[in-house]
Amino acid sequence: MKKIISLLFALSIFVLIPSESAMSQVLNPAKKTKKESEKRANKNVDKGINKGFDELEKGIGGLFNKNRKQNASQKTEVKQTDQVGEQPEDELKSEAEAPSLKWAKYDFIPGDKVIFEDNHEDEENGEFPSRWDLVRGTIENAEFGGDNIIMFRGGAPTIVPYLKNPEKDYLPEVFTIEFDLYLNNPNSFQLFFWDKKNQKTSSTYNHLDIRYDGLYLSPAGSKIPQGKTIKNQWGHIAIAYTRGKMKAYINETRLINIPHLEFDPMGISLYAYSASDETKFYIKNFRIAEGGVKYYDRFLQDGKIVSNGIRFDVGKATLLPESMGVINEIYGLLAEHAEVKVSVDGHTDSDGDFDMNQQLSDDRARAVMNQLVAMGIAQDRLISKGFGESKPMDTNDTPEGKANNRRVEFVKM
C-alpha cells in the first residue's frame, strides 16, 4: 500500500509541475515576444496540466477497478455525464417511460356515436378475433404486454369488420377511426378505406400507410418530427374524416391533412403484407365512431356535451394521453366563455359491481375536473359527479353500446 501511495504522489508531482521549457516561455518571456505568444504559451501549459490530471484519474480508476467489479452484482452503477446539470441516462430513461399528459396541442375529437368497437373483451387466445372477418392470411388473438391484442402473423394477412350488410357503404359522411399499433416493424401497416371482401372500388390510392417514422396517404405524407420518433412501443393512430377532408395522427402529432380527398371512404380493411413469424404486427382497441355537431353548438343546443373520447386505464381513473383532444377542446370553450360553469359527470357501462362502478365514475369525473383546473380553469366554475351505470344511453349487450355508455358529460349549470 505504501508503494501505491508513493507512486500516486510521484505521479501527481510530475503532472502538476510544468516542463522547464514551458516555464521559461511563461515566466521569462523575451522582451520582444508579443502578448499573443504569451497567451498561447500559457494555454499550452494548461493543456499539459489537464492532460496530466486525466492520466492521474485513469490510474486511480485502475487501482479501484477491482472493487467496482465486486460491487457490480448490486446493479446500482450510476452513469456519469460530461456536462454539469445533465442527468444520468438511467434517470432520463425512467422519466421518458413514466406516463404523463403532454399532448397539449392535440386537436383530434372522436365521433359521438360508436358504430364498431373491438377492445378484445372475452377473446380466447389463439383463436380468430370474433369481431372481424378474414380476407386472407393468418391472424390470431394473442396476449402482448399483459393486454389482449390481435396479431398479424403471415400470408399477407387482411381482415375487415364483421358487420351486417358489409357490401354497403358503412362509413358515414363524418367519422373517426382510432386504434393502437405496435410500431416495431420497418415495413408499413396499411388501412384501406374499402372492404376488400365485400366491396369494390376503382380508386388506386385509397389506403393509409403507417410506419414507425410517419404516415403516408396519396397525395400527402409526413414523417414524425425529430425527437418524437416512435419505435418498439405502442402508437395511437387517429383518423378524422369530414365530408371530403381527412386528418390523421400518430399520438399527438398530426401528419396528414388533406382538404379534398380524391375518393369516398366506404369501408375498412386492415392489411399487413410483410407480416411473418419473424416480423409480426400487433393492434388493439379499434374503434369507428360517427361524428357530430361542434362542441359549442352542441352545448348551446342541448345544454351539455357528451364525449366517449376521454379514455382511462382499465378499471382506474388515470387519464390516457389520447383524452387530451377532448379536454383541450373543452378547455378552449371554457376559456373563451368565462360565464359558463359546468358539471363534469362520469358514467360507466354495467360490467362489474354496481358500487364499484359508482366509485369509479366519481373518481374519473374528478380526474377530468382536476385536469381542467390544472390547465387554468377556475375551481369555482366546475363540479364533478359520478353516476356509475345508473344512466345508460345505449344497450349494455354489445361492445358498441358499452362504449357509448362509458362516457363523460359536461353539463351546463
Cα(377)–Cα(391) distance, integer angstroms: 27
The CATH number that applies at residue 353 is 3.30.1330.60
The residue from 270, 292, 314 where one domain ends is 292
Q: Is the dihedral of CA 30, 31, 33, 36 positive or negative?
A: positive
In a domain, 96, yes or no: no
Burial (0-12, 13-18, 19+ Cβ within 10 Å), 386: buried
131 and 26, same domain (yes or no): no
Phi and psi for 394 in degrees, rounded to 5?
-150, 175
282 and 332, same domain (yes or no): no
331 and 232, same domain (yes or no): no
39 and 144, same domain (yes or no): no
267 and 130, same domain (yes or no): yes
The alpha carbon of residue 188 and the mean position of all alpha carbons in its chain are separated, in whole angstroms, by 18
- pLDDT at residue 294, as a whole number: 77
Phi and psi for 349 in degrees, rounded to 5?
-85, -170
Which residues in the chain land under pLDDT 70? 1-102, 292-293
The residue from 292, 327, 349 where one domain ends is 292
Please check whether residue 289 is in contact with residue 308, taking contact to mean a CB–CB distance below 8 angstroms: yes
Encoded amino acid at 70, one letter:
Q
Encoded amino acid at 232, one letter:
N
Residue with cell 387554468: 376
286 and 310, same domain (yes or no): no
The alpha carbon of residue 218 and the mean position of all alpha carbons in its chain are separated, in whole angstroms, by 25
The CATH number that applies at residue 139 is 2.60.120.560
402 and 300, same domain (yes or no): yes
Residue 110, C-alpha cell as written in the block: 372522436
Taking alpha carbons only, the member of 383, 386, 379, 385 closest to residue 357 is 386
Cα(295)–Cα(334) distance, integer angstroms: 11
Q: What is the pLDDT of residues 94-150, one digit of tens each?
A: 333 444 566 878 889 999 899 999 999 889 999 999 999 999 999 999 999 899 999
Taking alpha carbons only, the member of 308, 320, 285, 293 closest to residue 404 is 308
Encoded amino acid at 113, one letter:
K
- pLDDT at residue 105, as a whole number: 82
C-alpha distance from residue 15 to each of 27, 28, 53, 54, 55 (Å): 18, 21, 7, 10, 9
Angle 155-161-162 from CA coordinates, rounded to 5°: 105
pTM of the model: 0.72
In a domain, 201, yes or no: yes
In a domain, 64, yes or no: yes
Prior bond of 219 cis (ω within 30°): yes
Cα(270)–Cα(196) distance, integer angstroms: 9
- pLDDT at residue 210, as a whole number: 95
The residue from 274, 292, 310 where one domain ends is 292
- pLDDT at residue 45, as a whole number: 41
C-alpha distance from residue 261 to each of 203, 205, 238, 242, 288 (Å): 11, 10, 17, 10, 19
In a domain, 78, yes or no: no
In a domain, 99, yes or no: no
| Contacts for 412 with CB less than 8 Å, ≥ 6 apart | 299, 303, 304, 340, 341, 342
134 and 274, same domain (yes or no): yes
In a domain, 37, yes or no: yes
DSSP secondary-structure letter at 281?
A: E
278 and 305, same domain (yes or no): no
283 and 300, same domain (yes or no): no
In a domain, 93, yes or no: no
In a domain, 77, yes or no: no
Structural domain count, the chain: 3
Taking alpha carbons only, the member of 315, 308, 302, 265 closest to residue 289 is 308
- pLDDT at residue 100, as a whole number: 55
Domain that holds residue 352: 294-413
Buried-exposed string 179-190: b where 16+ CB fall within 10 A, e elsewhere: bbbbbebeebbb
Please state whether beta strands 382-386 and 342-347 pair in parallel, antiparallel, or not at all (unpaired): parallel
Residue with cell 452513469: 79
156 and 276, same domain (yes or no): yes
140 and 285, same domain (yes or no): yes
Q: What is the pLDDT of residues 304-353, one digit of tens each?
A: 999 999 999 888 999 999 999 999 999 999 999 999 999 999 999 999 99
Residue with cell 386472407: 136
